[in-house]
């Protein structure tokens, strides 16, 4: 099934994602930044759906927007320091870092639009990704060829759980 009105959805979702990104880095209140980040994550999930990646979109909504952001909001509420409201927001070297990061972004955009190799790659026909069996094929890849990475990722999660619990619990 070909997607309907792709360019409208792309521009709409990317506008949402970019405005969420700008709000994340500019709000004084960390809860507002967290909500803007949730907006960005949901917009990106929509973009993944447009890219024939429904499983990644579902994982993004469950893990990122529904898990990691809840963790962030919990921690923001637990370390709710009142004097955050009255302090300076940006640090001393904000001009240099702003120029440097903006320069990096412009460098990326120039490379992407001017490079002939990239244009040639982008013009080849898209791979035949069937949307209705996406999950099954990802399961085949995960448990077939990338089994070692899968096991290492689960070990990493175990280490992270143990580490976070040890660091954050009360010292009796």
Long-range contacts of 63-72 (CB under 8 A, 24+ apart): 65/38, 65/41, 69/34, 69/37, 69/38, 69/41, 72/34, 72/37
Choose, by CB under 8 A, the member of 82, 116, 120, 124 that binds another protein. Answer: 124
Shortest distance, position 172 Cβ to another protein, whole Å:
13
Taking the alpha carbons of 80, 98, 9, 44 in that order, is the dihedral positive or negative? negative
Give the footprint of another protein on residues 4-63 (CB under 8 A). Answer: 4, 6-7, 10, 14, 17-18, 21-22, 24-25, 27, 29-35, 37-38, 40-41, 44, 47-48, 51-63
Give the footprint of another protein on residues 136-165 (CB under 8 A). Answer: 136-138, 141-142, 146, 149, 153, 156-157, 159-161, 163-165
Shortest distance, position 113 Cβ to another protein, whole Å:
7
**Which lies closer to another protein via its Cβ, residue 167 or residue 172?**
167
CA distance 87 to 158: 37
Give the footprint of another protein on residues 77-96 (CB under 8 A). Answer: 77-79, 81, 84, 87-91, 93-94
Q: Judged by CB under 8 A, how many residues of this single chain contact another protein?
A: 108
Q: How far is CA 43 from CA 39, 47, 80, 157, 165, in A?
A: 6, 6, 28, 26, 32
Give the DSSP letter of residue 66. Answer: I
Choose, by CB under 8 A, the member of 12, 112, 147, 151 that binds another protein. Answer: 112
- Is 169 in a helix, a strand, or coil? coil
Choose, by CB under 8 A, the member of 82, 85, 116, 121 that binds another protein. Answer: 121
Shortest distance, position 140 Cβ to another protein, whole Å:
9
Shortest distance, position 54 Cβ to another protein, whole Å:
5
Question: Whose CA is closest to 16, among 35, 34, 54, 42?
Answer: 42
Contact, 29 vs 62, CB < 8 A? no
Shortest distance, position 42 Cβ to another protein, whole Å:
8
């Amino acid at each position: 099934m070909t997607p309907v009105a792709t360019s409208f959805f792309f521009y709409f979702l990317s506008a949402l994602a970019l405005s969420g990104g700008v709000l994340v880095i500019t709000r004084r209140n960390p809860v507002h930044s967290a909500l803007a980040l949730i907006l960005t994550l949901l917009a990106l999930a929509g973009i993944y759906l447009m890219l024939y990646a429904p499983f990644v979109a579902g994982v993004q909504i469950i893990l990122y927007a529904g898990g990691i952001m809840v963790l962030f909001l919990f921690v923001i509420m637990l370390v709710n320091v009142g004097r955050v409201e009255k302090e300076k927001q940006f640090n001393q070297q904000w001009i240099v870092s702003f120029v440097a990061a903006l320069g990096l972004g412009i460098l990326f955009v120039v490379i992407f639009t001017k490079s002939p190799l990239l244009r040639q790659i982008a013009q080849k026909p898209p791979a035949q990704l069937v949307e209705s069996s996406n999950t099954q094929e990802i399961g085949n890849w995960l448990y077939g060829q990338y089994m070692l990475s899968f096991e290492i990722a689960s070990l990493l999660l175990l280490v992270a759980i143990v580490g976070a619990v040890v660091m954050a619990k009360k010292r009796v």
